[in-house]
Amino acid sequence: MFDAKSLVSEASSVHCRSATVFDDNETFELQQHLEKCEREIIELKFENTIFEAAVERKKSEFLIPQSSSLLTPVSSSQATTPIGSYQDSSNTNATGRVERLARKQSKSRSTQSDIRIRLTLEQKLAIVASEYEQIKTEALRRNTVNERNTDQSESDIEWIDVELEDFQLAITELLKLKESSIDKRTRKVIGEKMSRYFHEHLQARESTTNKLRDRSGGLRKQIVRLDSQLKQKEEMGETLHEVDFNQLKIENKQYLDKIDEKNVELVLLKRQVAKVTQLLNHYKDNLHTSTVDLIDIEKRINKQDHLHEYAEKEIVAVNNEQYHVAKTHSNLVSQIENYQVPEILDYVRKKSLLSNLQRDCQVWQRKVELVSMSLRQSRQQWETIQGAARLYNRNNI
């Protein structure tokens, strides 16, 4: 009995754990599905706002009276504008709605997407493109208005600065005039100077107002003339209509497309120029290294040329020396070959003669030494005699 209860309790606990795991997985999936639905709702709200803005703009365009020249019949099969595509989508979706309502009676369950009118991708893209163009034009208009307002405010600020400078100058002049018109004795203001100042100031203002009046009259005449010219052009049919502006927009778009193509070509050409410049720099580096190597090789060649010239000169000198040595060697060889040993008596006689000559030489050297000693003594005596004579002459003087 105890074992059965324990088994039942274990089975119930396992079942509860599996149920909790299943609930966690289901809640996680439901949360993911909820997040996905929320994202889809946000996207659909954004699309609805865009489409509502497009519908309101189209309604306002239909309410504005248009000229008959701008109205062109557009067939349902060849409609390419956003208006035509939107009308086709409404017709096709209306028939689909009737068919879906008929099928709903036989089906047990149907989703909200079955009864909702949907637009095709091309229609959505057309609406988004038209809204983008409208937003762009509105942004350009606002930018122009803001620029005009900024220019107007800057001109107003400049005019106010000029007026303030004139006012400050007038105040400084009035204060200087007041200080100069005070009488030093009575310390009162002299009215004549002040009245003269105000009179001159009013005359200057009147002259400026007359100038501005003349200028404004000339501008008014110019405006009248330009208005008359514009009316004449309108009567002659030379003015621009909305069709001309649309044609200009189309041409502008074509030119912008061409400009984009040219910009793409320019980018490609710039890339090619960058590659060519990179190759040119690489070749320049190679040329520089090759020129440096060439200069080094030329220096080595010149050095080898000098060494070659020096070696040739050494070879010539060695050949000359070899010639002289060979000549002396041949002379010596010939002398050796022609050499004859002298007799013994001749050798003894020459040897005795040499000893006698050496002895006589020593004797003469000794005599020369003695004579030089006597010469030095006589020079000393002569110098003493000359010194004594000079002293005697000085004493006599």
Q: What is the CA radius of gyration of the chain?
A: 64
User: What is the spatial distance between Cα 297 and Cα 303, in angstroms, rounded to a whole number?
Assistant: 10
Q: Determine the distance from the C-alpha atom of residue 146 to the mean position of all C-alpha atoms in its chain, rounded to a whole number.
A: 31
**What letter would DSSP give residue 75?**
-
User: What is the spatial distance between Cα 125 and Cα 111, in angstroms, rounded to a whole number?
Assistant: 26
Are 117 and 93 in contact by the 8 Å Cβ rule? The answer is yes
Check residue 294 and give its pLDDT.
94
Domain range summary for the chain, segments of one domain joined by +: 189-239, 250-337
User: What is the spatial distance between Cα 289 and Cα 311, in angstroms, rounded to a whole number?
Assistant: 32
* Residue 50, number of CB atoms within 10 A of its CB: 17
Tokens of 92: 């096709």
φ/ψ region of 74 (left if φ > 0, alpha if ψ in -120 to 50, else beta) reads beta
User: What is the spatial distance between Cα 353 and Cα 363, in angstroms, rounded to a whole number?
Assistant: 15
Check residue 124 and give its pLDDT.
77
Which residues touch 115 (CB under 8 Å, ≥6 apart)?
97, 100, 101, 104
Tokens of 356: 């006698």
- Looking at the chain, the number of H-run helices and the number of E-run strands are 6, 0
The half-sphere exposure of 132 on its side-chain side, counting CA atoms within 13 A, is 6
Check residue 28 and give its pLDDT.
83
The residue type of 228 is S
From residue 359, alpha-carbon distances to 354, 362, 363 in Å are: 9, 5, 6
Picking from 146, 373, 286, 15, the residue whose alpha carbon sits closest to that of residue 7 is 15
Tokens 């040499």 -> residue: 354
Check residue 23 and give its pLDDT.
63
Are 77 and 91 in contact by the 8 Å Cβ rule? The answer is no
- For residues 314, 315, 316, 317, the Cα torsion angle rounded to the nearest 10 degrees is 50
Are 131 and 52 in contact by the 8 Å Cβ rule? The answer is no
Check residue 117 and give its pLDDT.
61
Note the pLDDT tens digit of each residue in 277-287. Answer: 999 999 999 99
User: What is the spatial distance between Cα 316 and Cα 308, in angstroms, rounded to a whole number?
Assistant: 12
User: What is the spatial distance between Cα 77 and Cα 73, in angstroms, rounded to a whole number?
Assistant: 12
Check residue 192 and give its pLDDT.
76
- Residue 189, SS3 per DSSP: strand
User: What is the spatial distance between Cα 43 and Cα 22, in angstroms, rounded to a whole number?
Assistant: 32
Q: Exposed, middle or buried by CB within 10 Å (0-12, 13-18, 19+), for 194?
A: middle
User: What is the spatial distance between Cα 175 and Cα 395, in angstroms, rounded to a whole number?
Assistant: 112
Check residue 195 and give its pLDDT.
81
User: What is the spatial distance between Cα 312 and Cα 318, in angstroms, rounded to a whole number?
Assistant: 10
Digitized pLDDT (tens) for each residue of the chain, 397 residues in all: 334 445 445 545 544 554 454 467 788 888 888 888 888 888 888 878 877 877 887 777 777 655 444 444 333 333 333 333 433 444 444 444 445 544 544 444 444 444 456 677 787 788 888 888 888 888 888 888 998 898 889 888 988 988 888 888 888 888 887 777 777 777 777 777 778 878 888 888 888 889 989 989 999 999 998 888 878 877 776 556 667 778 888 888 899 989 999 999 999 999 999 999 999 999 999 999 999 999 999 999 999 999 999 999 999 999 999 999 999 988 888 888 877 766 788 888 888 999 999 999 999 999 999 999 989 999 899 998 888 888 888 887 6
